[in-house]
A = this chain, B = another copy of it.
Amino acid sequence: MAKEEYDVIVVGGGPAGVISAVTARNYYPNKKIVLIKSVGQGVIPCGIPYMYCTLQKPEDNAMGNAPLEKNKIELVVDEVTTIDRKAKTVKLKAGKELGYDKLVLAVGSEPIVPPINGLDNKGVYPIHKEMGYLKAMKDKVVKAKSALIIGGGFIGIEFADELAGIKDLKVRLVELLPNLLMNSFDPEFGQQVEEKLKAKGVEVICGKKVQEIKGKEKVESVLLSDGSELPVDLVVLGIGALPNVKLAKDAGLDMGRGKGIWTDEYMRTSDPDIFAVGDCAGKRDFFTRKNLPVMLASTATAEARIAGANLFQLKVVRENKGTIAIYSTYVAGLVLGSAGLTEDTARKEGFEFAVGTAEAPDKHPASIPGANKVKVKLIFSRQSGILLGGQVSGGMSAGEMINIIGLALQQRVSATELETLQMATQPHLTAPPTMYPLVVAAQNVINKL
């Protein structure tokens, strides 16, 4: 059977795959590029929770093919079953073989299915990124009387916030750890989310484990570690995901020390003609070089831009940066952002640090209508004065404030530099210049360094 030859094959139709292909086109205008995706109708991953109330219809969250068409990238909907590294070909489920010069694996992740009895009951929903599945799930959720979400990370809290808007649906959220969002925020921030969810009628249960999901034909109740049993008719699994590495493992690529595919700083796997980006690729922490289980569309696209540019030549020097955990979320009008290390992780990793905090209105004077309180916490290395991490909560503007902190981390900015930062302030848009919280938090820490 004649095989078709490509300069670049990208496997995966999520943000990592699409941006790899688009960036490759931008840097290498004459190459023949194809993107292979297994899911005919994908969705925008971060938008999944919002397919219930915020968006008018699930289709509004569809991942379109316009960027591929616009950039003359061929599209094949099929599953890649094997990679032949010697022949430099991939085999598709339908039988066809395609040849590559450079291959990009952007095959994503699979939701974690925890070791809980009864997960095979009808009415238990892991989050798969496929339109048909998610629409069917929505149909069930809106008809349910009571839903229980397992996991108090980003997916869990955003689902809880959104499902709380469905009429006559009782929403519960169970988190094993003592606070919400503990992997990315210190407790005082997670507690703000808990208050917001409770005010919206969500029953938040922290510090307890789901022991068993009970039911005959379908979910009927959930048994918690304290022996209590909650009647529910639907369970959402929001406890994270694991890198999808089967294809890479079968092809003999290195896995490194973590759970994802090993790559160098330019997203090249142990085979220099194969790149891996996004959730399927391993991450190394910016500060420690340890493996970092971060799976974010924004990280994925940053990696995809590096891979796409560097496919045939190393054009974009990455300066050995590693990955920073950088997140934002929105719950019932409250915005939270976190970047870099939390106080908790800094302590666990053995950093000597000092913490600066600040609070200010996000408009000024604070009597301007719509003003919210913004809280900032910055963590600095005590000796070197370098920013290690930051957290922020507030109104809508906090969503971009965390990106100021993110840039400051990536530039290894010091407390002194932040303390004398020149920034734009405006009554409708920011805290007053006298109280700009990133500056004041830096100033607050200076005496402690």
Is there contact, CB below 8 Å, between B447 and A26?
A: yes
Complex: A427 Cα to B154 Cα, angstroms: 12
Enumerate chain B residues within 8 angstroms of A417, measured Cβ to Cβ: 319, 410-411
Provide the A419-436 mask, 1 if CB < 8 A to any CB of B, else 0: 111111111111011101
Is there contact, CB below 8 Å, between B428 and A330?
A: yes
Which residue in chain B gives the minimum CB-CB distance to A402? B424
A266 CB to nearest B CB, Å: 11
Complex: A419 Cα to B434 Cα, angstroms: 32
Enumerate chain B residues within 8 angstroms of A411, measured Cβ to Cβ: 407, 411, 413, 417
Enumerate chain B residues within 8 angstroms of A190, measured Cβ to Cβ: none
Which residue in chain B gives the minimum CB-CB distance to A304? B434
Complex: A411 Cα to B326 Cα, angstroms: 20
Which residue in chain B gives the minimum CB-CB distance to A416? B316
A369 in contact (CB, < 8 A): yes
Is there contact, CB below 8 Å, between B433 and A55?
A: no
Complex: A354 Cα to B155 Cα, angstroms: 40
User: Which single member of B367, B413, B423 contacts A60 (CB below 8 Å)?
Assistant: B367
Q: Which of A332-367 contact B (CB under 8 A)?
A: 335, 337, 339, 364-365, 367
Enumerate chain B residues within 8 angstroms of A439, measured Cβ to Cβ: 301-302, 305
Oligomeric state, in copies: 2
Enumerate chain B residues within 8 angstroms of A255, measured Cβ to Cβ: none
A216 CB to nearest B CB, Å: 37
Enumerate chain B residues within 8 angstroms of A305, measured Cβ to Cβ: 419-420, 439, 443
A328 in contact (CB, < 8 A): yes
A61 in contact (CB, < 8 A): yes
Enumerate chain B residues within 8 angstroms of A406, measured Cβ to Cβ: 421-424
Enumerate chain B residues within 8 angstroms of A67, measured Cβ to Cβ: 434
CB contact under 8 A between A419 and B328, given known A365-B55, A399-B428: no
Size of interface on A: residues with Cβ below 8 Å to B: 82
User: Which single member of B15, B47, B324, B396 contacts A434 (CB below 8 Å)?
Assistant: B15
A265 CB to nearest B CB, Å: 11
Is there contact, CB below 8 Å, between B399 and A426?
A: yes
Is there contact, CB below 8 Å, between A364 and B47?
A: yes
Provide the A295-334 mask, 1 if CB < 8 A to any CB of B, else 0: 0111111100110010000001111010110111110000
Is there contact, CB below 8 Å, between B368 and A54?
A: yes
User: Which single member of B297, B302, B407, B424 contacts A339 (CB below 8 Å)?
Assistant: B424
Complex: A419 Cα to B301 Cα, angstroms: 10
A408 in contact (CB, < 8 A): yes
Is there contact, CB below 8 Å, between B424 and A399?
A: yes
Complex: A301 Cα to B46 Cα, angstroms: 38
A47 CB to nearest B CB, Å: 5
User: Which single member of B369, B422, B428, B432 contacts A302 (CB below 8 Å)?
Assistant: B422
CB contact under 8 A between A368 and B399, given known A305-B443, A420-B306, A427-B50: no
Enumerate chain B residues within 8 angstroms of A422, measured Cβ to Cβ: 298-299, 302, 321, 323-324, 326, 406, 410
Interchain residue pairs A-B with the least CB separation, the first 9: A399-B429, A400-B400, A330-B428, A328-B424, A298-B433, A60-B367, A301-B433, A328-B426, A297-B433
Q: What 15 additional pairs, Cβ within 8 angstroms, besides A61-B365, A298-B422, A321-B422?
A: A15-B434, A26-B443, A44-B365, A46-B426, A297-B432, A299-B422, A317-B416, A323-B422, A326-B422, A330-B427, A330-B429, A397-B400, A400-B429, A407-B411, A407-B413
19 sample A-B contacts, Cβ–Cβ < 8 Å, listed by A number: A19-B433, A26-B447, A55-B365, A67-B434, A296-B424, A297-B432, A298-B424, A299-B422, A300-B433, A301-B434, A302-B422, A305-B439, A316-B416, A319-B417, A326-B422, A335-B429, A337-B424, A399-B424, A407-B407
